[in-house]
C-alpha cells in the first residue's frame, strides 16, 4: 500500500513539475504547481507529518498559489515569446540539469545507503500538538521573528505595490 501510494503521488508530482516547466502559459504552470503541492501533501502524510501536510494544502496550495494566480490575472500575462534566449542558459543549462540531478542523487544515495524504509505510521510525532509544543518552547524566538518577518513582508509588499498604483 505504501509503495503504491508513494509511486502514484510521486508520479503525479513529477508529471505536474514537468508541466510547470514546459507549459508556456503561466496560468497552466501555476495550476500544475498546485498539483505538485497537493501530491506532496499526501507524501508528507505518508511520512507522518500531519501538520505540515495540512499547512502545505492551506498555505501553499491555498494562499500562495492563489496569490500567484491573482497576479497572473492582474497582469494579464500571456504565453511567453520565443525570442531573446540566453546563450549561456542554453549551453550550460541542459547538461547542468542532468549533472545536477545525477550528482544530487549520487550524493543522497551515498550519504544514506542503508536508511530505514518508510512505512505509514512509522513516525507519529508530526501532529499539530507535537509541532506546536516544540514551536512554542524551543523555537519560540524564531517563531516570533517569523511573525515580524511576515509583518515586514506585508508592509513591504504594500509599499511596493502602492507606489506604482497611485
Partner 1 sequence: MQHLWLIPVLPLLGFLLNGLFGRRLAKGAVTAIALGSVLLSFAWVVKTLVGLGALETAYIERYFTWFQSGDLRVGADLSVDRLTAVMLLVVTGVGSLIHIYAVGYMTHEGGYYRFFAYLNLFMFFMLVLVLGANFLLLFVGWEGVGLCSYLLIGFYFLKKSATDAGKKAFIVNRIGDFGFSLAMLLIVITFGSLDFGAVFPAAASKPESTLTLIGLLLLLGACGKSAQAPLYVWLPDAMEGPTPVSALIHAATMVTAGVYMVARSSAIYLHAHAAQEMVAYIGLGTAVFAATIGLAQNDIKKVFAYSTVSQLGYMFLGLGAGAFSAGIFHLVTHAFFKALLFLGAGSVIHALEGEQDLRHMGGLRTRIPVTFWTLACAWVAIAGIPPFAGFHSKDAILLAAHHHAPWMYWVGVLTAAMTAFYVSRAMFLAFFGEPRGHHHPHESPPVMTAPLAVLALLSLAGGFLDVPKFLEPLFPLSEGAHDFALVAISVVAGLAGIGLAALFYVVKPGLADAVANALGGLYTLVYNKYFVDELYDAAVVRPVETGSREALWKGVDAGLIDGAANGVASIARATGGLLRLIQSGNIRSYATWVVFGSILVLVAIGLVGGGAR
Partner 2 sequence: MTGVPLSWYLILSALLFALGVAGFLFRRNIITVFMSIELMLNAVNLSFVAFSYQLKQVNGHIFTFFVMVVAAAEAAVGLAIILTVFKNRETLNVDEVNSLKN
Applying CB under 8 A, which residues contact partner 1?
86-89, 92-93, 96, 99-100, 103-104, 106-107, 110-111
Residue 137's binding partner, choosing from partner 2, partner 1, none, with beta-carbon cut-off 5 to 8 A by kind?
Answer: none
Length, in residues, of the chain? 166
Helix (H) or strand (E) holding 99: helix 87-111
Longest CA–CA span in the chain (Å) reads 59
Q: Which three cell numbers stand for residue 119?
A: 512505512
Cβ neighbours of 53 (radius 10 Å): 19
Q: Does 42 bind partner 2 (CB under 8 A)?
A: no
Q: Which of 85, 95, 137, 141 binds partner 2 (CB under 8 A)?
A: 85
What the block records as the C-alpha cell of 102 is: 545525477
29 lies in the site for partner 2, by CB under 8 A: yes
Q: Which of 8, 71, 140, 144 binds partner 2 (CB under 8 A)?
A: 71
Report the alpha-carbon distance of residue 35 to residue 22 in Å, rounded. Answer: 15
Selected binder of partner 2 within 8, 140, 144, 156 (CB under 8 A): 156
Residue 13 vs residues 50, 85, 98: alpha-carbon distances, Å: 19, 28, 19
Q: How far is the CB of 144 from partner 2 (least distance, A)?
A: 12
Residues 115-154, one symbol each (x = binds partner 2 by CB under 8 A, - = not), give: xxxxxx-xx-xx---xx--xx---x--x---x--xx-xxx
Amino acid at each position: 500500500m505504501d509503495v503504491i501510494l508513494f509511486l502514484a503521488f510521486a508520479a503525479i508530482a513529477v508529471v505536474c513539475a514537468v508541466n510547470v516547466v514546459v507549459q508556456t502559459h503561466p496560468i497552466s504552470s501555476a495550476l500544475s504547481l498546485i498539483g505538485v503541492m497537493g501530491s506532496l501533501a499526501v507524501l508528507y502524510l505518508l511520512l507522518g507529518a500531519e501538520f505540515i501536510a495540512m499547512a502545505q494544502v492551506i498555505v501553499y496550495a491555498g494562499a500562495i498559489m492563489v496569490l500567484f494566480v491573482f497576479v497572473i490575472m492582474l497582469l494579464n500575462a500571456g504565453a511567453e515569446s520565443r525570442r531573446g534566449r540566453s546563450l549561456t542558459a542554453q549551453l550550460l543549462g541542459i547538461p547542468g540539469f542532468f549533472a545536477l540531478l545525477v550528482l544530487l542523487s549520487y550524493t543522497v544515495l551515498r550519504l544514506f545507503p542503508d536508511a530505514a524504509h518508510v512505512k505509514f505510521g512509522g513516525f507519529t510525532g508530526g501532529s499539530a500538538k507535537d509541532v506546536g509544543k516544540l514551536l512554542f518552547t524551543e523555537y519560540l524566538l524564531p517563531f516570533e521573528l517569523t511573525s515580524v518577518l511576515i509583518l515586514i513582508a506585508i508592509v513591504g509588499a504594500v509599499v511596493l505595490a502602492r507606489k506604482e498604483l497611485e
